[in-house]
Amino acid sequence: MKKKSSLLLIFLVFASTFIFAQEKEAFIENVMKEAFENSQLEQLAHELLDEIGPRLVGSPQMKKANDWAVVKFSEWGIPASNQQYGEWRGWERGVSHIDLLEPRVKSLEGMQLAWSPATPKNGTVAEVILLPKIIQDSISFSTWMATQVKGKFILVSMPQMTGRPDYNWEEFATPESLKKMKEARTEQSTTWNNNLRNSGYTSRTIDAALEKAGAAGIIQSYWSKGFGANKIFGARTKKIPTVDLSLEDYGMVYRLAENGKKPKISITTVSKELGIVPTFNTIARIEGSEKPEEYIILSAHFDSWDGGSGATDNGTGSITMMEVARVLKKYYPNPKRTILIGLWGSEEQGLNGSRSFVSDNPSIVENIQVVFNQDNGTGRVSTINGQGFLHSYNYIGKWLQDVPQEISKHIETTFPGTPSGGGSDHSSFVAMGVPAFSMSSLSWSYWNYTWHTNRDTYDKIVFDDVKNNVALIAIMTYLASEDAEKTARDKILLPINKRSGEQMEWPKPRDGNRKGGLD
């Protein structure tokens, strides 16, 4: 009798394993077909990036995107809501128009920075001047500000001696010419930085000082080291406009001023201050059927800077997680564990949305199976770091074995890896000891051409790679949900810091900024 019971148990285990293997094979086949043959990524990208546009925290466009996502999830039968975590300075971008009037007429390529004050309705016309070539000390600089700055536009960025990226020089220049350029550029940067230091200010504090001295506006150029690409961040002025000019136009205006031509520029910037506005995370939920109190989180930040339309940072990550949710709802509507999709707010200002979620939801955080986060661009996932979790290979490695080879062959893994202290939203969870992993993508020249630039737009998306990521994350989510084991949270002993000689520590949890941009 005992022998028969043992045989029956073995049979039932075998049958269960066989059935799951069949279900898994069918699910993966369906996901691959849906992801590559029936994708909605292009339409999602168009609606989010072309129609709504960039999603600066505190802007009406950010709230419009939150509401749009809730509607989309609802259309797919997935309940979602916008959950407030704080407040932010409300601001809406209008037009920027910058024209050279003297010594010749030319419309210039540039734009106001986020949160820049507007000009008067008819704009501001003023002469453009440079910072002093030689600043002796803070006293002489204060004297210069008191006598030269009032009513002028000030160029505050170092002009670039070449507008060609290094890869262009490396392809075409002679070794001698390349070496000469790099040495000259290094010397120029050292001289510029030392001169600015003599003023008693830094690149972060000088704008406010010039504003206080009566400047009509601040003109900068934050080149991204790629053809036509500039970084667009936030203004540090309170009453006068701050604009960024393209490398090409900034260099031209700089040379005109340097050569005594007294260039005159007209700047018109339109923007609206909207007071204090609420900030939200958009959270969607596919309820678990067997272990609803355990969670898998699909994570991406929804906000962006607003130089472009926030396509690869992080429109691609956001539409990836939305599309994964759509595919899962279609082919895996009753997961064993609850699947949450977190589209976080204000990542760009310090992971504020995800940090706030972690602080506000301790019971969820305690029961997370895994977090998959996607942020850095449009490329297919190429690396996964174990984030310092001692046994991360046991589950991440196991799940990857079931991912089709045409996807998994592109992925390199590092186990157990080291924990991220910042950079993207998985770090908010890692700091709490939660197994959270960045699905890190191939570059596609991300850092120079699209990361926080005026060129981060729909046309930079490589949809084949994003579809690849949808399939990967959908399959990994299914496997994580079905896994009979709870993921382990044991941490590695971190190494000695070579600089300090002290033991490295696990990142500490931090709450999000609940009142941003209000100082």
207-211: average pLDDT: 98
Q: Whose CA is closest to 57, among 12, 24, 92, 81?
A: 92
CA distance 441 to 375: 8
Provide the pLDDT for residue 7.
Answer: 59
Q: Whose CA is closest to 149, among 243, 241, 214?
A: 214
Residue with tokens 């895996």: 332
How far is residue 80 from each of residues 193, 281, 366, measured CA to CA in Å?
Answer: 49, 10, 22
What structural domains does the chain harbor?
Answer: 38-90+276-516 (3.40.630.10), 104-262 (3.50.30)
Arithmetic mean of pLDDT over the chain = 96
Which residues are paired to 80 by β-bridges? 284
* pLDDT tens-digit series, residues 302-320: 999 999 999 999 999 999 9
Provide the pLDDT for residue 146.
Answer: 98
Provide the pLDDT for residue 20.
Answer: 84
**What is the rounded (10 degree) CA torsion for 12, 18, 20, 24?**
180
Element housing 281 (H / E): strand 264-286
The answer to whether 202 and 196 are in contact (CB under 8 A) is: yes
Q: What share of the chain is helix, strand, coil (3-state, %, to 5)?
A: 40, 25, 35
Tokens of 198: 């003599």
Answer whether residue 3 shows pLDDT above 70.
no
* pLDDT tens-digit series, residues 232-269: 999 999 999 999 999 999 999 999 999 999 999 999 99
- Beta strand pairing call for 217-220 and 153-155: parallel
How many Cα atoms are found within 13 Å in the side-chain-facing hemisphere of 506?
17
The answer to whether 36 and 471 are in contact (CB under 8 A) is: yes
Answer whether residue 13 shows pLDDT above 70.
no
